[in-house]
Structure 1
């Protein structure tokens, strides 16, 4: 049904003047043919008679329409056709609350938490070393992997080099990450918690050496001064065998090298763009090769590696599930709140109200802002 001659801009019409056309708030007049004008008046009469009762909708459903007076009908028709003019946009001020606060002081606390547990792990290793049974009287436990794969001497060096490279990649990535404070305290918390668990498992069950090739330092039998010197030497070497500072035995269940290789890869993948599949694949290969070489070198039992991977990956996923899903923090059905570390989690993640986006920026601005402002003021005075 033709109401009037329409242009390509889809004009709106009113009953008061069918020749008046509205274009996005502007008015224009166009001549109409007499036949079109007659058709338009008939359409208006049909519309007026149709609104007095029940009208059938487009989808065949019956809807009740209240009868309106003549002037009200025109006004209602005009509002219905041009209702976009009856609404005004109200600007709502954005919330000034920072949903991702840096809170560096919490990051420092998480750092000391990780450092304390790492030092505690070193102390427990020194204690467990005194309890390791001699390998002459207590041979290594049977291991299925060792039965089929012969030992490769240089394999453990590959493991530690892979861990160093992964850690360097993660440090560079973290340096350019915009929310490095939040991610750093998550990393410190998970490292500290995983090594705290490792203290417990090493202390409660002391396994014999996994191979006859293992070289263990002589036992001190209560010489605490010499033991403390060994602890400091191990800490100074980063707990690595390639530095020649790791001469302890007994720190087997579970593998600390597997913890760091797995955790570093998970953080690299979680806080990097999903489209960097080649980057993720490269880091995964470094982690997988490093873990595999632990077994090839016969430096850990297979159960040490399996338990280390299981605990590391699950703790990482549990923590990030609670951190990224805000509804879980207050949900009564969230059984993850029963963990002993939940109060510490609430302390670290209390003000983080959304998932951390994958955003990077150049962390150093040169020259400093104070020098920029001074130069700008000087230039303004000089130009005047």
Structure 2
């Protein structure tokens, strides 16, 4: 009699902690007591009571609480409930600690197919969507507004260089009073008149090749920022070295424009002429002297070649050799034409290569915030952090066609027109 009613009542006969229930209505069995038992058991995470008329499942043989034996009176004693609580708590702790005590992130332990879609399975094999941060999904954002700022930065540097050249030109000593300084390279190599023209032509060709390559590069915004920053910083360095140390002309063949002294209007016109002609001798815009330490032509040739090689496939060895020959021949022709001292070319090469390698080492390193990374002590580190804050990986050499041949709205105009017409007729 007792066993039959016990199985029919199910979870309503479960004995709470410190309180007993009877099936025949003996003792208090109000709805309040049942609700309090449900709240207590739900909070502990051990037992769940079913509504009246439904059966409550007992722990199975595979359950961690299966080893606990029931007493003959078919009632849950206080000791049994406490044992169930302790067993469930131990199981949860083992599941949370994992193997070896290392906590693992559930997002990182999902299968590869689920992780790619941003979903993971729960216990019931249902998919649960996991929100992902934007920086994790897009590790190489374009951020063209930053590129625009760096473009203005390089324009400012080039304009400032033209102003400094105009100022320094007024302080260059005449070659009749102070002859050119002795140079070892000039002692062994005689001047060739057309050599400097070869330098400027090679520079124009190399820059054109670089911009064509940049046009097809997928991550051109990031690379443009780096190119603009390095070029602008190098020309700022050049402004400093030109102004603090003024060297005499390197050869008696050089013809310098007359000094203007206090004529600011004429100086302004010279600045505009120098900017409009890109500072090239073949455009007849560079008629001033004094911009010797260090060589701006060497900066352009060296920096452009380094970017061409860095952002092109390593298998294009023939392409790298061709660009290296253009750069190397251009640099040598500067000395052959006696347009710069040898120290101008050496300093320009040294400063350009070191600045390029320092920057890209910091950009590609994974320990930028390490206290042992002394490269972060450079003065331009705040600007570097501004440019590279959202770039979380090295820029790959991926190329593609940047412009689509036709907009999507013009691909099938006849089909869309027929759809509109059929809709109107209906």
TM-score, length-scaled by structure 1: 0.74
List per-residue Cα deviations over 1:66-98 (Å, max 9, x = no partner).
xxxxxxxxxxxxxxxxxxxxx994722455531
Label 1:243 to 1:176 Cα distance change in 2 as closer, same or farther (>3 A): same
SS of the aligned residue for 2:233 comes to helix
Q: 1:210 & 1:145 partners in 2: Cα distance?
A: 11
List per-residue Cα deviations over 1:277-300 (Å, max 9, x = no partner).
000000000000000000000000
Quick one: which of 331, 347, 354 aligns to 2:370? 331
Quick one: which of 181, 186, 191 aligns to 1:151? 191
Quick one: which of 317, 322, 329 aligns to 1:277? 317
Quick one: which of 385, 389, 399 aligns to 1:360? 399
- Shift, 1:371, TM fit: 2.7
2:58 match: none
2:148 match: 108
Q: 2:201 & 2:275 partners in 1: Cα distance?
A: 18
Label 1:111 to 1:148 Cα distance change in 2 as closer, same or farther (>3 A): same
Q: 1:302 & 1:176 partners in 2: Cα distance?
A: 37
Quick one: which of 323, 346, 350 aligns to 2:385? 346
User: Structure 1: where are the runs of 5+ without partners?
Assistant: 1-86
Pairs within 5 Å for 1:184-333:
184-327=224-367, 329-333=368-372
- Shift, 1:271, TM fit: 0.4
Label 1:138 to 1:351 Cα distance change in 2 as closer, same or farther (>3 A): same
Alignment: residue pair count: 297
List per-residue Cα deviations over 1:44-78 (Å, max 9, x = no partner).
xxxxxxxxxxxxxxxxxxxxxxxxxxxxxxxxxxx
Q: 1:338 & 1:187 partners in 2: Cα distance?
A: 21
Label 1:340 to 1:89 Cα distance change in 2 as closer, same or farther (>3 A): closer
User: Structure 2: where are the runs of 5+ without partners?
Assistant: 1-108, 119-131
1:45 match: none
Pairs within 5 Å for 1:124-139:
124-139=164-179
Q: 2:320 & 2:254 partners in 1: Cα distance?
A: 34
- Shift, 1:378, TM fit: 4.5
Larger radius of gyration between Structure 1 and Structure 2: 2
User: CA RMSD of the aligned region, Å?
Assistant: 1.9
SS of the aligned residue for 1:326 comes to coil
Label 1:88 to 1:310 Cα distance change in 2 as closer, same or farther (>3 A): closer
Label 1:336 to 1:127 Cα distance change in 2 as closer, same or farther (>3 A): same
Q: 1:172 & 1:150 partners in 2: Cα distance?
A: 36
Q: 1:88 & 1:233 partners in 2: Cα distance?
A: 64
